Amino acid sequence: MPIPEAKRPAVDRALTAAFGTTEMDSAKPLTGGLSGASVYRIRVGGIAYLLRIEGARDDFRDPGRWYGCMGAAAAAYIAPRVRYADAADGVAIMDFIEEQSLVLDYRGTRADLIVEAAQTIRALHETPAFPPLIDYMDGMDGLIGVFQASGLIAPAAVEELFARYAVLRAGYRTAEGDRVSSHNDLNPRNILYDGGRLWLVDWESSFLADRYVDLATLANVFAHTPEEEALLATTYFGQAPTAERQARLYLMRQINQVFYGVILLNGVAAECPDLRETSLEAPSLAEIHQALGTGDFALETWRGRLAYGKARLNAALDGLRSARFPEALALVAA
């Protein structure tokens, strides 16, 4: 078995509590996550489960917080069933989802997918409040500071982007009543399709946050046109969104692009400390999302993450250059 010997006592406790045995039929390491956890597909009694062993911990990567969030989501049938989760050991066992491609296998139209995704996060946001952790915009400040200090991208290449982002940062505040139980990382790899429905996985970023964080993440993945954005928002709110809600969603979409851009590029900078890039040249975000859905783009390599991070920042710059940006900011500030 590939389970590290140092982790076997904790894993044995998990197996005993969940299944009454320490015997596994098999254990296969899985790749693809960026959290630092060790993840395995295990079989016990012939049935597949997901075993997760946490890696390094800090104030953000705290299983004591997000195991509770995951459990609440599972109770609401949004996340896979949790068979065992112990924050002290840092070990969890969940039902394994046999994933199918959202691009190739989804049994419905794009509109059906957008409606289902909006209904799923609406159900999430209606669960009992997750624990608070940090103001989302304050967290963004920290991530951007790390990125700028890394020197990975030449300052001239991102000067306009961060000048425009600073204007957004100064004008955006979360509205009263908009802090909800949020996943906060609904990238395409954390939304699984089993051939019948969607599941949300990987809850380590979950905490009480602005509802538009999850909405914007979904919009940036699925809503490629104004009509699709309107369908997402109308489904989520149960009625056509007000001008202010439309403005908040638009602004958070740009914040979300910056978030994914800097978090991916910060990882590349840590992995390749001597790498220096002079531009943001990269494939478009739409091209990369299409390739991710078909398995033709690899985020497991630093080159893949570099291209994806740049594409996200380019998308943010396009949004911040739009005439819609000052109009949306004025509505929210008012």
pLDDT of residue 152: 97
Residue 220 lies in a domain: yes
Both 76 and 128 in a single domain? no
Q: In whole angstroms, what is the distance from residue 230 CA to residue 280 CA? A: 30
140 shares a domain with 43 = no
Question: Are 47 and 26 spatial neighbours (Cβ–Cβ below 8 Å)?
Answer: no
Does 73 share its domain with 145?
no
Residue 103 lies in a domain: no
Report d(CA 314, CA 158) in Å as an integer. Answer: 9
- Identify whether residues 211 and 269 lie together within a single domain: yes
Does residue 125 sit in the same domain as residue 51?
Answer: no
The answer to whether residue 101 sits within a structural domain is no
Is 118 inside a domain boundary?
yes
Q: With respect to residue 102, please indicate whether it lies within any of the assigned structural domains.
A: no
pLDDT digits 0-9 by tens, 83-111 = 999 999 999 999 999 999 888 899 999 99
Are both 194 and 56 inside the same structural domain? no
Which among 36, 65, 95 is the end of a domain?
Answer: 95
Per-residue model confidence as pLDDT tens digits over 243-272: 999 999 999 999 999 999 999 999 999 999
pLDDT tens-place string over residues 177-195: 999 999 999 988 899 999 9
If DSSP states are collapsed to H, E and C, what string results for the chain? CCCCHHHHHHHHHHHHHHHCCCCCCEEEEECCCCCCCEEEEEEECCEEEEEEECCCCCCCCCHHHHHHHHHHHHHCCCCCCEEEEECCCCEEEEECCCCECCCCCCCCCHHHHHHHHHHHHHHHHCCCCCCCCCCHHHHHHHHHHHHHHHCCECHHHHHHHHHHHHHHHHHCCCCCCCEEEECCCCCHHHEEECCCCEEECCCCCCEEEEHHHHHHHHHHHHCCCHHHHHHHHHHHHCCCCCHHHHHHHHHHHHHHHHHHHHHHHHHHHHHCCCCCECCCCCCCHHHHHHHHHHCCCCCCCHHHHHHHHHHHHHHHHHHHHCCHHHHHHHHHHC
- The token pair at 324 is 């819609």
Name the pTM for this structure: 0.92
pLDDT at residue 1, rounded to an integer:
53
The pLDDT of residue 35: 63
Co-location of 66 and 207 in the same domain: no
104 domain residue, yes or no: no
Whether residues 145 and 19 fall in one domain: no
Report in angstroms the alpha-carbon separations of 170 from 33, 203, 248: 33, 29, 14
Domain contains 291: yes
Pair (210, 131) in one structural domain: yes
pLDDT, greater one: 2 or 152? 152
Whether residues 126 and 27 fall in one domain: no
Q: Which of 71, 95, 119 is where one domain is finished?
A: 95
Asked if residue 123 and residue 44 are part of one domain, the reply reads no
| Structural tokens at position 64 | 């004591």
Residue span of the structural domain in which 302 resides = 110-333
Choose the final residue of a domain: 46, 66, 95. Answer: 95
Task: Tell me which amino acid residue 135 is.
Answer: D
> How many domains, the chain?
2
Is the same domain home to 13 and 151? no
Residue 100 lies in a domain: no
Is the pLDDT at 70 greater than 70? The verdict is: yes
What confidence score (pLDDT) does residue 94 get? 98
CATH number of the domain to which 62 belongs = 3.30.200.20
- CATH code of the domain in which 296 resides: 3.90.1200.10
